């Protein structure tokens, strides 16, 4: 039981690094993809947060990004191994087009996550650890403190710039 | 099994946070966490390949709804 909890925590850290790195590589904090994302960023900034970090959080809400890609890839690997993960990547690609998102952060994240998660299943992890881990990872960004999360993302974004 | 309980607990936590948050714009990220948790728990509850399609359909649908509501909240498209 303790072992599974530790696996989930480790999976959360791996998923966090993976999706934040892919999202920042694809410049999600730069501009809001739709006006809704910009509005969310403005409200987060008004609450004391960072505009660039808030923009990334708004973009995560408004279209499936690398975090959604990682979650669905974990789900895909859980039900059907690597083919399941790649099917999830296809579904994320379709989801991006439906949500008026011209980018490839979600699809790239899902493909990368498929192979990362499959790799970790070979060394004792279960794909279900990554489903729970990704939910914990998105909780730390979107669900605990928007002010602190947006400042951290803003700082990482300025490093990339 | 623990994974399912973790995901379900986070879903309840995110739902409560979304209800308690007063600012509309800052409500969306909480609802986003809820969508992640529900999509994850669907797959953990029903271990079948078709569940992946159901979870992805739910997730993309709820993201599109959040996108539409947030864009309406922002004032919609100016013509």
Q: What is the Cα–Cα distance from A103 to A95, expressed in whole angstroms?
A: 11
Tell me if B16 is assigned to some domain.
yes
Q: Does B73 touch chain A (CB under 8 A)?
A: yes
Tell me if B67 is assigned to some domain.
yes
What range defines the domain where residue A15 resides?
2-160
Which residues in chain A are contacts of B24 at CB distance < 8 A? 43
Tell me if A4 and B49 make a contact (CB, 8 A cut-off): no
Tell me if A72 and B56 make a contact (CB, 8 A cut-off): yes
Tell me if B13 is assigned to some domain.
yes
Provide the token pair at A23: 């999202």
Tell me if B29 and A143 make a contact (CB, 8 A cut-off): yes
Which residues in chain A are contacts of B33 at CB distance < 8 A? 135, 138-139, 142-143
Tell me if B79 is assigned to some domain.
no
Tell me if A98 and B60 make a contact (CB, 8 A cut-off): yes
Q: What is the pLDDT along chain B (79 residues), one digit of tens a residue?
A: 899 999 999 999 999 999 999 988 899 999 999 999 999 999 999 999 999 999 999 999 999 999 999 999 988 766 6
User: Which is more confident, A140 or A1?
Assistant: A140
What range defines the domain where residue B44 resides?
2-73
pTM: 0.94
Domain count, chain B: 1
Tell me if A142 and B73 make a contact (CB, 8 A cut-off): no
Measured between CA atoms, the residue of chain A closest to residue B46 is A79
| Whether the Cβ atoms of residue B10 and residue A45 lie closer than 8 Å to each other | no
Domain count, chain A: 1
**Which H or E run contains A9?**
helix A2-25
Q: What is the Cα–Cα distance from A97 to A91, expressed in whole angstroms?
A: 10
Rounded to an integer, the average pLDDT of A45-64 is: 93
pLDDT score of A91: 94
Distances (CA, A) of A32 to A39, A135, B16, B45: 9, 23, 27, 35
């Amino acid at each position: 039981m303790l072992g599974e909890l530790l696996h989930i925590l480790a999976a959360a850290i791996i998923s966090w690094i993976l999706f934040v790195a892919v999202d920042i590589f694809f410049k999600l904090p730069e501009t809001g993809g739709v006006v809704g994302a910009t509005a969310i960023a403005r409200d987060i900034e008004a609450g004391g947060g960072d505009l660039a970090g808030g923009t990334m959080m708004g973009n995560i809400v408004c279209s499936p990004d690398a975090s959604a890609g990682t979650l669905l890839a974990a789900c895909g690997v859980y039900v059907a191994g690597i083919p399941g993960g790649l099917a999830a990547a296809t579904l994320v690609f379709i989801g991006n087009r439906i949500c008026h998102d011209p980018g490839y952060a979600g699809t790239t994240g899902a493909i990368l996550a498929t192979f990362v998660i499959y790799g970790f299943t070979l060394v004792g992890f279960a794909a279900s650890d990554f489903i729970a881990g990704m939910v914990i990872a998105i909780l730390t960004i979107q669900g605990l403190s928007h002010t602190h999360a947006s400042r951290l993302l803003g700082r990482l974004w300025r490093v990339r710039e | 099994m623990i994974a399912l309980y973790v995901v379900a607990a986070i879903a309840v936590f995110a739902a409560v946070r979304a209800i308690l948050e007063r600012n509309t714009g800052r409500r969306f990220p909480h609802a986003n966490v809820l969508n992640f948790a529900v999509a994850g728990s669907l797959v953990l509850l029903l271990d079948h390949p078709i569940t992946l399609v159901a979870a992805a359909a739910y997730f993309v649908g709820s993201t599109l709804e959040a996108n539409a509501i947030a864009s309406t909240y922002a004032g919609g498209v100016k013509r």
